[in-house]
Structure 1
Amino acid sequence: MTLHRTVLPVSRDLEQTPAQPLPVGLQLRQLRQQARLSQLDLALQAGLSQRHLSCVETGRAQPSQGLLHRLLDNLQTPLEVRNRVFLAAGYAPRYAALPLNDPGLAPVRTALLHLLEANNPAPAIVIDSGWQVLAANRATEALFQWLGLPRQAVAEGFNLLAALLAPGGFGDCLVNAAEIRQVAWQRASREAGQDPGLAALLASLPCPEVSAMAPDLASPLLLTRVAGPHGELSFLSTFTTFGMPQDITVASLRIEHLIPADEATWQALAQACAQQAAANLD
């Protein structure tokens, strides 16, 4: 399968450290506090004494690489942040960040292509930690065409967060825009704590208004409701991520699937994809 947009390499200077990095003990303490764990809780989970952990956090003991690995595993620390902690302790970073077009990530690219293709005629996109769309399937392009949005946005790539929050984007096509924008803002705000680039993007976008609508308790999920020229489409939103990633690029990727929530939406998407395929043959 050929993607409608070439998957772009993810480029980051992952070994760059702050001008004045915090000592490793203080970084571990901050991560533990963010995880809302006491010293005793973390020590029990990582298999060491509370006294030893206290000495590590205060700088009276130097953690070994094995101990750092256990602590960061139990704290579920993002791989990029783990690299910074290892550097602060005087060790080399453990995790690489290969560009997505690297030969070593060929199995990852194959898996992404398979998942995108399998999702047709339902839209699916691959996004990175900055909410940048790296690839999309045929159904996504068909949906954009159905909504009257520029098809080149799919071909050239766009930022999903900006498309949802900024005026004139995909967010303006949503029936329940206030609810979806609020959920997107809250999620991005949580993620921005570990991603300065995402934090900068979020600061440049308008903060959504708080929805005055009461949640629809009759539905088990918040639906993405899209208004188009031929009626309303309703979608369930799910995410797929790679299990047990050992590369920062791979860990940053997720696929968002927009799964039709009713038969009318399935039929509309199937028809749109068929029309698009016929047009491409002409």
Structure 2
Amino acid sequence: MNSQSFPRTTAPTTAGPQLRLLRRQARLSQLELALITGISQRHLSCIETGRARPGPGTLHNLLMALEVPLEQCNSLFLASGYAPRYETTPLSSPAMDAVRDAITHVLHANNPAPAIVLGSHWEVLAANASTQVLFDLLGLPTDATQGLNLLTTLLQPGGLGDHLINPEQIRSIAWQRATREALDNPLLAELLQNLDAPPSCSAVSNELPPLVLTRIRSPHGELNFMSTFTTFGMPLDITVTSLRIEHLIPADPKTWQTMTAAYARSLLEQPPG
């Protein structure tokens, strides 16, 4: 068989059919999407069939309404004959000053509860003081969050995963979430290839709690945390879309007391100035 490429019939290659597919995946009718975006259903139909080319503003509104990932949005702009619209700005760039300030504020406000900033590959980009306090309680190395990957430390021996009371649950949830994200993230997929998949967590209690807690074994006894995430609500930059802050909120009075006391001690131990 020669190497000649054959036409693809399963995936649209022009902007109109791609938009139609995305709309159907979002379970929206043409009328519903037209009402959301403020364009006429007739014009939307012409766009989807290729009889009309959407302007940049119209295309942007359609893609935002369909909640299309920004990387894919750039492909749609190219398919429509426009330059890619959405940048991947380094977090250290001056243009990201407001973003970094917001992250710093959220991290500081979360003390004495741990909070970490994660990138698109689960790399830890920043952490608050209480994260290091928790690591100190567990006997993990000083500055253990520097260069840390949360997925790696949960799944590989010698990391945070070794201190979990419910490692099967947490590792299974982390693996499943990362595997879903890796479908559109080649670098994360490569990371997963170098990690061992955890055993499937099949045990399910008859009475399920409201959410899965991160249960940690420490010298002070069991510490229980609820995991929540903060993301930026209206990102127009690919870097910003990938950022998320994980908050480990103490789930019981004992955990609150332990973290509050340890955080207060860490403040007293800091050198003056």
TM-score by length of 2: 0.83
Would you identify which runs of 4 or more consecutive aligned residues in structure 1 move more than 6 Å?
Answer: none
Aligned to 1:232: 222
Instruction: Determine the C-alpha separation between the residues in 2 that align with 1:192 and 1:74.
Output: 24
Alignment of 1:18-167 (within 5 A): 22-37=13-28, 42=33, 45-46=36-37, 47-49=39-41, 53=44, 56-57=47-48, 59-154=50-145, 156-167=146-157
Superposed CA offset, 1:129-167 (max 9, x none): 22111000111011111112222321x221112222233
Instruction: Determine the C-alpha separation between the residues in 2 that align with 1:27 and 1:169.
Output: 43
- Secondary structure in 2 aligned to 1:87? helix
Query: Which structure 1 residue ranges, 5 or more long, are not aligned?
Result: 1-20
Instruction: Determine the C-alpha separation between the residues in 2 that align with 1:182 and 1:92.
Output: 40
Q: Is contact 1:128-1:252 (8 Å) kept?
A: yes
Query: Of 240, 258, 271, which residue of structure 1 is paired with 2:248?
Result: 258
Letter in 2 for 1:63: P
Alignment of 1:184-195 (within 5 A): 184-195=174-185
Instruction: Determine the C-alpha separation between the residues in 2 that align with 1:61 and 1:221.
Output: 48
Q: Is contact 1:81-1:194 (8 Å) kept?
A: no
- Secondary structure in 1 aligned to 2:215? strand
Instruction: Determine the C-alpha separation between the residues in 2 that align with 1:177 and 1:253.
Output: 25
Superposed CA offset, 1:97-120 (max 9, x none): 221122222121111111111111
Displacement after TM superposition at 1:257 (Å):
0.6
Superposed CA offset, 1:215-255 (max 9, x none): 47463221110112331100011111122122222222111
Instruction: Determine the C-alpha separation between the residues in 1 that align with 2:200 and 2:241.
Output: 31
Q: Is contact 1:135-1:157 (8 Å) kept?
A: no
Displacement after TM superposition at 1:33 (Å):
4.8
Query: Of 190, 201, 208, which residue of structure 1 is paired with 2:198?
Result: 208
Q: Is contact 2:220-2:258 (8 Å) kept?
A: no
Instruction: Determine the C-alpha separation between the residues in 2 that align with 1:30 and 1:205.
Output: 34
- Secondary structure in 1 aligned to 2:270? helix
Query: Of 147, 154, 158, which residue of structure 2 is paired with 1:168?
Result: 158
Point out the structure with max Rg over C-alpha: 2
**How many residue pairs get matched?**
260
Aligned to 2:4: none
Instruction: Determine the C-alpha separation between the residues in 2 that align with 1:229 and 1:101.
Output: 38
Aligned to 1:270: 260
Q: Is contact 1:123-1:143 (8 Å) kept?
A: yes
Root-mean-square deviation (CA), in Å?
A: 2.6
Q: Is contact 1:120-1:139 (8 Å) kept?
A: yes
Instruction: Determine the C-alpha separation between the residues in 2 that align with 1:185 and 1:166.
Output: 12
| Percentage of pairs with the same residue | 57
Letter in 1 for 2:219: P
Q: Is contact 1:126-1:134 (8 Å) kept?
A: yes
Q: Greater RCO between the two (CA within 8 Å, min separation 6)?
A: 1
